[in-house]
Structures are given as C-alpha cells and as structure tokens.
Amino acid sequence: MNLYTLLESRFPQDRPAICLEVPGGRDSTWDELAQGSARIAGWLASLGLPQGARVAAPVEKSPEGLMLYLATLRAGLVFLPLNTAYRDSELAYFFGNATPSVVVCPSKNLSWIAPLAEAVGARTETLDDDSTGSLLEVCADFPGTFATVELPDTVLASLLYTSGTTGRSKGAMLTHGNLASNALALHDCWGWRSDDVLLHMLPIFHIHGLFVAANGALLAGAKMIWLPKFDTKVAIQHLPHATILMGVPTFYTRLLSEPSFTREVCQRVRVFISGSAPLLTETFTAFQERTGHTILERYGMSEAGILTSNPYLATDGPRCGGTVGRPLPGVSVRIQGEPGMIEVKGPGVFAGYWGMPEKTKEEFTDDGYFRTGDLGHFGGEAIPDDYVSIVGRGKDLIISGGFNVYPKEIESFLDTLDGVEESAVVGVPHPDFGEVGVAVLVAKPGAVLDPVQLLATLKTQLANFKIPKRIVVVDELPRNAMGKVQKNLLREQYKDALL
C-alpha cells in the first residue's frame, strides 16, 4: 500500500481542523495538507517521470516542504530530503549519486544549485519557507484532489543519505512497507492519540523529524506545532500546549540549562522521547528531578527505522536511563559478543544502498541480519534482560547535536589544505552538542599551520555542523603496528578538550 494512503486513512474526520500550527506563520488544516500535496503530486505526475524517479529536496522546513514529501509519495516517486546546510561539492555528490529528476531548493540557493541539477539532467524549482516559490506557481492550477498511485509495499518511497565512515554518504533505500511498518509499530508502542499535540522542532531531512515524528503524528491524525528549528526559549513557550516532544539529547540538555524550564511548563506533556544519539544518564536523572518526567529513549537509524524503545506504559516495564529499551514487535535484535555488534532484522530494515550492491551485501549477514555498526549488550545490573544498551559505535561516526559527521570526509578536506601533511578527526564529549569533532593535524615539513585560519577556510567549504570545534597541531599521529592511526588514543587524549 502507498504510505500516503495509509496516512490519509487516519486523518481526522474534521478536515478543517488545524494539522500544522505554525507560530508566526500561516497554519495549515488537514484539508490544506491533502489539497496542497494533491496539487504538487498532480504536477509531478504531469512530468511523466518513470516510477522510482527521485525528487531531491534541499529545502527549508515549511508546511509546503511536508506537502512536497507527501506529494512525492502520492505520485509514486522517491523522496530525497537533504540538509540546506550542504555546500556545492556535497550537493554535487548527492545529485551525481542519486541522479534526481527534480530538485526543489530555496530561491536564495537557486543560482548555484540549478547548474548542479542541470548537470545530472534534473529540472529545478524553488520553495521558500514563506510559502512562495516557483514550485507553488507551477502547481497552482492542478486540482486539489489526486488519485494516489497504488503500489506494492516493496516500492521505494525515500532515499535517505547516511553514514559514510569509509568515504561519502550512502543512500539508504526505504520502501513504502519499511516506513509504514515502523510508523504503525511506533503508533502502538508510544500510545499515539488523535488529541496529541506534537511539538515538532526537528529538521525534516532526517529519519527522526520526517519518519519518526511527522509520520507518527500524521498516522495518529494528531496536530503538530511546526517550528523551523529547536530554540530553548521557543520550546518553553510552546511546551504547555504540547503532549509529545521528540528530540535529540541536545534538546534536553538545553532545556535543563534554562531555569524557566519547570514542572509547570511540562504539565500537559505525556511523553518526552529522545534518540539519534546517546542520552547521558546525568541528563536522564536531572530531567526526572526537574520535571517529574522520565525521558523515553529509543534507538534507530536511517537504514532500519526505530528498532528498540523503552516502554511507554509502566505496566510494560521501567524506562531505564542509559538503555534504549527492548526490540519493537516484529524486530529481531541479536548481539554478537558481549558487548558486540548489534545486528537486526525486521520489516523496517531497508532495501539496500542505492547503486552499491557490494556494499549492501557486506552489511548483511548470510542469514539476512543487517549489521548496524553499533556496539551494545543486553541487560545489566538492575536492567531487564531484554533491554539493549549501546556502548559505542563500531564505526567512527561523530554525532554532533544529533547530526552525523563523518570524520573521513572532514579529513579528506583537511588533507587538501596548504601545509597539511595528514589529519585525524575524532569525536569528543561536549556539554551542549553531546559530541563534537577535534581535528588533529600534522604539518608538512617547514610549514606552519594556523588553526584559526584553517577553521575559517573550513567554514567556507563545509556545512557548519561538520566543522571541528578545535584544531590541534602535533608532530605525528599515534599509529599501530599496521600503520593505522589509533583514533582511540586521540579520543582519550582530547576527551576533556571541550568540556
């Protein structure tokens, strides 16, 4: 079944009711969401693209951005969300790899994105966060109804670019069935209700904001308070009207750093959910003390959706800090070793990496389990036996404020800079972002490196969230007998550098 058909079947009867409440902007009703997505779907269908053609969307978060996602599903095409922070070379890579047929971008970026899109034969339209742009103009005359394309569960719905520790990002192919099964499982697990109000402050170019949060609310027929990004004061202003907050751990540390974040502010909230990166036990405990609420931590990834969750209902077990709970119904999790690599199987597990059959094969075991790259174990002291705890990442991925930073990519950039002999980027703890990158550089003989200057150069070439927070220059990098840089030693050496 088309995921949109499933979502729409759960929209409330009261279609003139507000679906997206947009503070400081124009709210959208359920009718408007359905009609807006129908118009865009009508336009997409008129292009005569083959099933499976990609629609790339490096757009700002807006109601129309969500409509574009739904429209792509409705038309049977593949939605490729991208962060607007990406620069020229990054988008060139994604476009080259995914070869989208349509690219939608903010008008302020049109001058440099259009040539990149043209290079892969895509047409470009614009969409701005103030409900303007050429996309809306070309769609305006299409009808507000559209016969959503019916298709089997196995058809691709989205391409989500993810972890690339040994190179660039890979496109995780997610089917309608993958996304629907995960949304349905979470609907039951987290007790979604039609009178819920989700405070939505996550980006919608990532699994968390788009598939976990937005799909969850749409499937419940529940309203979202739709904000462009997380801001502590704004969150505190809207929390009294919300029943659910989904966030990365940074949301919770920032809320706790604000004295006006009190028990009263959280009175209506029924559940605070955290994921995408490890929630520190200190944050879990401090949150309990401040608000009386126990954060529900869950674990998942672009390739597989949400895999494990702490229980929502007390009758199903305790929410244990430092754990990510038990596997969702239908998900099989096994751990090879103690701790060891977490391997998973289930209806949410993706269909492979786009255009990388060999890489896909490597990441699956012979009996069909996906190797997550995360290390973990079951149980523990005072923890139920079927709860999973994550102890680290097998890969060297850095998760900074919920965003993935791939050290290899940053190192490749650093190594091209004048005077840089070699580099190693490692993640170190940071009180606000959870983790940030530290770049350790070795200068070419005779060269003098200026960290301030290097940071300024990086800022012109990479998205902000990827920029290391510190650059240090050393005589040589620690290496093992095989000549591999020992990143574990660097992590240890710089672990307090940004605390």
Distance CA(377)–CA(380), nearest Å, equals 8
Least distance in Å: CB of 275 to ligand AMP?
Answer: 4
Looking at the Cβ atoms of 373 and 384, the one nearer to ligand AMP is: 373
Q: C-alpha angle with apex 207: 8 to 243, nearest 5 degrees?
A: 65
Looking at the Cβ atoms of 109 and 372, the one nearer to ligand AMP is: 372
Least distance in Å: CB of 162 to ligand AMP?
Answer: 5
443 forms beta bridges with 420
DSSP-derived pairing of the beta strands 271-274 and 244-247: parallel
Looking at the Cβ atoms of 102 and 306, the one nearer to ligand AMP is: 306
Looking at the Cβ atoms of 329 and 392, the one nearer to ligand AMP is: 392
C-alpha 135 chain-centroid distance: 25
Rounded to 10 degrees, the C-alpha dihedral 392/393/396/402 comes to: -90
**Half-sphere exposure in the Cβ direction for 40 (13 Å, CA):** 30
Q: C-alpha angle with apex 112: 111 to 117, nearest 5 degrees?
A: 105
Least distance in Å: CB of 70 to ligand AMP?
Answer: 21
Residue of 103, 112, 106 whose CA lies nearest to 130: 106
Distance CA(281)–CA(324), nearest Å, equals 12
Distance CA(398)–CA(428), nearest Å, equals 8
Distance CA(170)–CA(210), nearest Å, equals 18
Return all residues near 85 (Cβ < 8 A) that are at least 6 apart. 463, 464, 465
Least distance in Å: CB of 206 to ligand AMP?
Answer: 6
Least distance in Å: CB of 421 to ligand AMP?
Answer: 31
Least distance in Å: CB of 150 to ligand AMP?
Answer: 29
446: exposed, middle or buried (Cβ count in 10 Å: 0-12, 13-18, 19+): exposed
**Half-sphere exposure in the Cβ direction for 256 (13 Å, CA):** 21
Least distance in Å: CB of 307 to ligand AMP?
Answer: 9
Least distance in Å: CB of 249 to ligand AMP?
Answer: 8
- DSSP secondary structure letter of residue 103: E
Least distance in Å: CB of 59 to ligand AMP?
Answer: 19
Looking at the Cβ atoms of 45 and 388, the one nearer to ligand AMP is: 388
Looking at the Cβ atoms of 78 and 324, the one nearer to ligand AMP is: 324
Least distance in Å: CB of 174 to ligand AMP?
Answer: 11
Residue of 339, 432, 408 whose CA lies nearest to 378: 339
**Half-sphere exposure in the Cβ direction for 101 (13 Å, CA):** 14
Two tokens, residue 318: 């305790």
Distance CA(325)–CA(319), nearest Å, equals 7
Looking at the Cβ atoms of 195 and 432, the one nearer to ligand AMP is: 432
Looking at the Cβ atoms of 109 and 404, the one nearer to ligand AMP is: 404
Looking at the Cβ atoms of 196 and 374, the one nearer to ligand AMP is: 374
Residues that bind ligand AMP (CB under 6 A): 162, 207, 275-278, 297, 299-302, 324, 372-374, 390, 393, 399, 404
Looking at the Cβ atoms of 116 and 207, the one nearer to ligand AMP is: 207
